[in-house]
Amino acid sequence: MSLFILQSHLTKSWLPLYISFFLFLFLLSFLKFVTYKSMLFMLVVLMMLVLNMFIWFKELNLDSFVKGMITKLMAWSFKYGMVMFIFSELMFFITFFWSYTHFMLLVMGEVGLMWPPMGINKVDFMTLALLNSVLLLSSAYFLTISHLMLVTLNKMLSKFFMIITIFLGMVFLGYQMMEYMMLEFLWSDSVYGSIFYMTTSFHAFHVMVGLFMLSSVLTLMTKMNMMIFEFSAWYWHFVDVIWLMLYIFYYWFPWMS
């Protein structure tokens, strides 16, 4: 029993606690930004969150692949934790999709018996939204190739395709910001505007987190470093799937209804 406990003992790092704390502060700062348009506090908290996440990723890489401190049981627990984390994020998006569908099907009198509500123009699904869909799907394709190259121990090609993936993700965020500037309705324009901006901005934040994870993999990439790569790939593919659902519900379906 003592041997089992020794082998499954994790390093005594406070970084996961710090990350949780700064994530909580980020949510509070986001509410402050939405209410009072104060961005400075949110940016400072975001920088601290990213810094702590990068240091923790570096520690995991050092412990597992340099010191050899990660056992099979611990690797399995990390994978299980990552699956639970992605599942919890999925529940967030399900609440947004549920709210959107609820108000769309309810056809309340306050929204003019139509969806989107009267006075709000539909978002064109054939321009930037479609281009962003192509960008994310392409990034998922290049990420898969990068993983395949790492499996075959071709480190240089793996890094090359990873850089392409990161670049496509950054272009996606740029076009998302461009779309926000082109929209003719605001966050406060009925329940449609609130849900649309909340869901798309929440997804954009997840893309930012995914880009950070992929960038960390790029800087820490070794021939044996597969676990952190796989975690980042799982998260990025999750972001891709969520965007496809978002594109269908928020962009394409209003034009078909």
DSSP state of 224: S
In CATH, the number for domain 81-255 is 1.20.120.80
Q: Are 125 and 252 in contact (CB under 8 A)?
A: yes
pTM over 0.85: no
User: pLDDT: is 110 or 190 the higher one?
Assistant: 190
Ranges of each domain in the chain = 1-69, 81-255
List, for residues 124-146, the tens digit of each pLDDT value. Answer: 888 899 999 999 999 999 999 99
Q: In whole angstroms, give the CA distance from residue 86 to residue 166.
A: 20
Average model confidence (pLDDT) for the chain?
Answer: 82
Tokens of 214: 């992929």
Phi-psi region of 125 (alpha: psi -120 to 50; beta: other; left: phi over 0): alpha
Checking if the pLDDT of 8 tops 60, the result is: no
List, for residues 167-200, the tens digit of each pLDDT value. Answer: 999 999 999 988 988 888 877 778 888 899 889 9
Tell me yes or no: is domain 1-69 CATH 2.70.98. Answer: no
Most confident range (mean pLDDT) of 11-20, 21-30, 84-93, 111-120 is 84-93
